[in-house]
Amino acid sequence: MYRNLTIRQKQIVWAWAFLAIPILFYSIIRFYPTGNAILISFQEWNLLGDRTWTGFDNYQKLFADPVFWKVFKNTFVYLLLGTPISLVVSFVIAYHLDKTRFMHGFLRMLYFLPFMTSAVAMAWVWRWFYQPVPVGLFNNALASMGIPQFPFLQSTTWALPSVLAPAIWAGLGFQVIIFMAGLRAIPRSYYEAARIDGVSSWTVLWEITLPLLKPTIVFIVVFSSIGFLRIFDHVFNMTTNNPGGPLNSTKPLVLMIYETAFSAFDMGYAAAQTVVLFLVLLVVSLIQLRLLRDS
């Protein structure tokens, strides 16, 4: 049978044979659990007993739950603070690092190091930095200068930024490297032409560097947005005793999902939250791709 095929048909058969492996892999590892999660979101299940159908109950409960809306808002605060700040900071670092020759490799390594550090270890170190007197580094410094203590993790206002700061710092190294690669990819000839025309460096930045970096910026924005929407390890490790606290002020959606699933054992409700997170990620990514695409 295979022998009777034309060369073109044989090529198609082989292409499908090779493609089947990743397709199979993705179906089992990605699509099947995703489909199952969507299914569970319409059911009630405590991990032990049978699953029972409950229709839209989990979703109704979700939209009526004030904690969910609080958490939903937090998730977007992480996104709306985290993405722009990390984008600007990493660009500024990359832009200047690109021009620095002195100890270039060493500096780049220093910026990249936090990205390679375990998020759990980093979160715990920062958690101790933030403690009140007598253990906290920052508060001890403040106290020794006679300044009142600052309630980093003990305030409903400041806990979220305090948790976010190390998370931004941790992701910075990666973004700096991507930006530097983007900067290197811009042809030198544009800059030379601009110099001959006597253009100011500000104009060079606005008219040449940034427009040509657009693909890089799109990539980083989408990537870091997804990261901040899914933030979990930093928050969980910095607030383990009171996860997402104080008073849910730092709780992101993923942490709520985790708690609903593995301490309340309410898998249906957790799955409904997961579906909402999935939709949010999808919509945010699509909007960003559209907005930042070349018009």
Partner 1 sequence: MAFFNVKALAVATATSAAALFSTAAQAVEIEYWQYFFDARVQAMETLIANFQEANPDITVKMTHFPYADYRTKVAAAIPAGEGPDVVQLFYGWLNDYVAAELIQPLPADVFPASKIDEEFFPMVQAMKEGDAYWALPTAVRSLALFYNERLLEEAGVEPPTTLDEMIATAKAMTKRDGAGNLTQVGMTAGMTAQDHHWWREGLIRQFGGEPYVDDYQTVNYNSEAGLEALNFYASLFTGDDAVSAIGFMDEPQAAFKAGRAGLHIDGSFRIGSLNNTRGLKWGVTELPATADGTRSNYSSYWVNAITTKAEGEKYDAAVKFMEYVTSDEAMQIWLDVVGELPAKPSVGLTEANSSDPVFGPFIKGLAYANTTKFANESGQRQLMVEMVERMTLQGMSAEESLSMAAEAEQKILDEYYNSASN
Query: Which residues of this protein are in contact with partner 1, per CB under 8 A?
Result: 44, 46-50, 52, 127-128, 131-135, 143, 146, 148-149, 153-156, 241-242, 245-248, 259, 262-265
Residue of 193, 182, 221 whose CA lies nearest to 95: 182
Q: Is residue 121 a contact partner of residue 39, using CB atoms and an 8 Å limit?
A: no
Tell me whether residue 108 or residue 251 sits nearer to partner 1 (CB atom).
Answer: 251
Interacting residues of 137 by C-beta distance below 8 A, sequence separation 6+ = 128, 129
Tell me whether residue 39 or residue 147 sits nearer to partner 1 (CB atom).
Answer: 147
Tell me whether residue 90 or residue 248 sits nearer to partner 1 (CB atom).
Answer: 248
Tell me whether residue 45 or residue 179 sits nearer to partner 1 (CB atom).
Answer: 45
Tell me whether residue 115 or residue 245 sits nearer to partner 1 (CB atom).
Answer: 245
Closest separation in Å from C-beta 72 to partner 1: 18
Q: Is residue 293 a contact partner of residue 218, using CB atoms and an 8 Å limit?
A: yes
Tell me whether residue 63 or residue 262 sits nearer to partner 1 (CB atom).
Answer: 262
Closest separation in Å from C-beta 245 to partner 1: 7
The CA angle 225-228-230, to the nearest 5 degrees, is: 110
For 251-288, give the DSSP string: --HHHHHHHHHHTS--HHHHHHHHHHHHHHHHHHHHHH
Q: How far apart are CA 238 and CA 165, in angstroms?
A: 12
Structure tokens at 145: 């200068």
Interacting residues of 162 by C-beta distance below 8 A, sequence separation 6+ = 130, 152, 153, 238
Closest separation in Å from C-beta 127 to partner 1: 7
Closest separation in Å from C-beta 80 to partner 1: 24
Q: Is residue 249 a contact partner of residue 74, using CB atoms and an 8 Å limit?
A: yes
Closest separation in Å from C-beta 126 to partner 1: 12
Closest separation in Å from C-beta 262 to partner 1: 8
Closest separation in Å from C-beta 44 to partner 1: 6
Distances (CA, A) of 293 to 93, 110, 162, 176, 217: 25, 33, 33, 22, 10
- What phi, psi does 43 have (nearest 5°)? -130, 170
Q: How far apart are CA 190 and CA 81, in angstroms?
A: 34
Tell me whether residue 52 or residue 200 sits nearer to partner 1 (CB atom).
Answer: 52
